[in-house]
């Protein structure tokens, strides 16, 4: 995916997060978009938000662990 396409995907996910602020899946997707765009701090913040909303989500836990090891 090229940079412009990824930025457009992130914009859609940001809008989705505004429209669905209680959806852990939305914040998981948004975090993944930021992660793939190498925006690691904002990715981490959105994974944490996702985990608050869905504490049982093992993918989010794994991604947060991965982000800790990136620093």
pLDDT means per 10 residues, the chain with 71 residues, are: 87 98 97 96 97 96 91 58
> What's the pLDDT score for residue 56?
95
**Dihedral over Cα of 50, 52, 18, 70: its sign:** negative
What pLDDT sits at residue 37? 95
Q: What is the pLDDT of residue 71?
A: 58
CATH of the domain at 21: 1.25.40.10
Q: What is the pLDDT of residue 25?
A: 96
The overall pTM is greater than 0.75: yes
Domain coverage including residue 7: 3-70
Overall domain count for the chain: 1
For position 63, what pLDDT does the model report? 96
Structure tokens at 22: 């209680």
Residues 6+ apart with CB under 8 A from 48: 64
């Amino acid at each position: 995916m090229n940079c412009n396409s990824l930025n457009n995907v992130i914009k859609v996910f940001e809008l989705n997060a505004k429209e669905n602020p209680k959806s852990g899946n939305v914040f998981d997707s948004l975090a993944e978009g930021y992660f793939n765009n190498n925006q690691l701090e904002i990715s981490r913040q959105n994974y944490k938000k996702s985990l608050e909303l869905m504490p049982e989500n093992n993918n989010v836990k794994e991604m947060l662990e991965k982000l800790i090891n990136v620093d």
